Amino acid sequence: MDTRPIGVFDSGVGGLTVAKEIMSLLPNEKVIYFGDTARVPYGNKSQHTIIKFSQQIVRFLIEKDVKAIVIACNTANAYALEAMQEIFNIPIIGVAQPGAQMAIQATKNNKIGIIGTEGTIQSKIYSKLIQSMNTDAHVYGKACPLFVPLVEEGLLNDSVTYEIANRYLRTLKEKQVDTIVLGCTHYPLIKTLLQEIMGESVNLVDPAFETAKNLKALLINQNRINENNNDKYNHYFYVSDRAEKFEHLAKIILNHPMMPVEQINIEDY
């Protein structure tokens, strides 16, 4: 048994959708979450910058003595996962592989849409993964750069968000996709709105649950599961900018008792 915590990081609040699934599937595990709120969004930044940011965050989480790390940011997954796995001697997993596997299982017509940040779409990470597993699949990527700032502002059901989403998704409607991967961990927070636009016949794939399942399998395989956790507050949250807005959204997303969110200077790492 390994009672050390699990590290989870994202560019902001979006990765809390992954953290929530981990907390649900692995209720005895402690989670240490870092949201890089000072530098959100990641989607318009270069690979070099994303690798630098990811290194700083992984160092911070290792200092907190985590036993495994989940990169709950699709852009960091696309640009930095392999580099982090090579640099650091700790299990590190991402969200793209589980998302790709779910999309293949969900599609009936082999027409799959991917929505994500500019960085995730340009990397073609989902296209490569899906087509490596299903050569008959047709994958259509659509960058939706305004979704992250809208979510970070808490405009989850706003008419502005609906209008922008309607414009973004028009292309995928024309392609007649029957499955869309929410290729950014912020996007499940507007899933109801996206489903309304696309219609109930289109599957919206959220990789968060499958990522939690992959993490559980990894911990079991490496004999790192925590089977007995009696801590009253077992999850800790850190951000790189002011904590108030993050804390407000986190309480809505997690619906879980929270320790106060602590702001740190991630550049020190």
Active site residue 73: yes
Side chain identity, residue 199: G
SS3 state at 210: helix
Q: Which of 58, 184, 202, 205 is catalytic?
A: 184
Active site residue 144: no
Closest CA to 183 of 160, 159, 211: 211
Q: Which CA distances in Å does 193 have to 120, 140, 158?
A: 21, 20, 9
Task: Please count the CA atoms within 13 angstroms of the CA of 173 that sit on its side-chain side.
Answer: 13
Q: Is 199 among the annotated ligand-binding positions?
A: no
Q: Which of 58, 73, 114, 137 is catalytic?
A: 73
Closest CA to 140 of 173, 112, 105: 112
Question: What fold characterizes domain 96-206?
Answer: Rossmann fold (3.40.50)
Q: d(Cα 125, Cα 119) in Å, to the nearest integer?
A: 10
Q: Where are the domains of the chain?
A: 6-94+209-268, 96-206
| pLDDT 10s digits, 161-211 | 999 999 999 999 999 999 999 999 899 999 999 999 999 999 999 999 889
CATH code of the domain made up of 6-94+209-268: 3.40.50.1860
- Would the CATH topology of 6-94+209-268 be identical to that of 96-206? yes
Q: Is 185 among the annotated ligand-binding positions?
A: yes
SS3 state at 88: coil
Q: Is 256 among the annotated ligand-binding positions?
A: no
The pTM of the whole model exceeds 0.85: yes
Q: For residues 256 and 11, which has the higher predicted lDDT (pLDDT)?
A: 11
> CA torsion angle for 182, 218, 65, 89 (degrees, to 10)?
-100
Whether the per-residue pLDDT at 100 is higher than 80: the answer is yes
Q: Is 154 among the annotated ligand-binding positions?
A: no
221: buried, middle or exposed (CB in 10 Å: 19+, 13-18, 0-12)?
exposed
Q: Is 10 among the annotated ligand-binding positions?
A: yes
Whether the per-residue pLDDT at 159 is higher than 90: the answer is yes
Whether the per-residue pLDDT at 232 is higher than 70: the answer is no
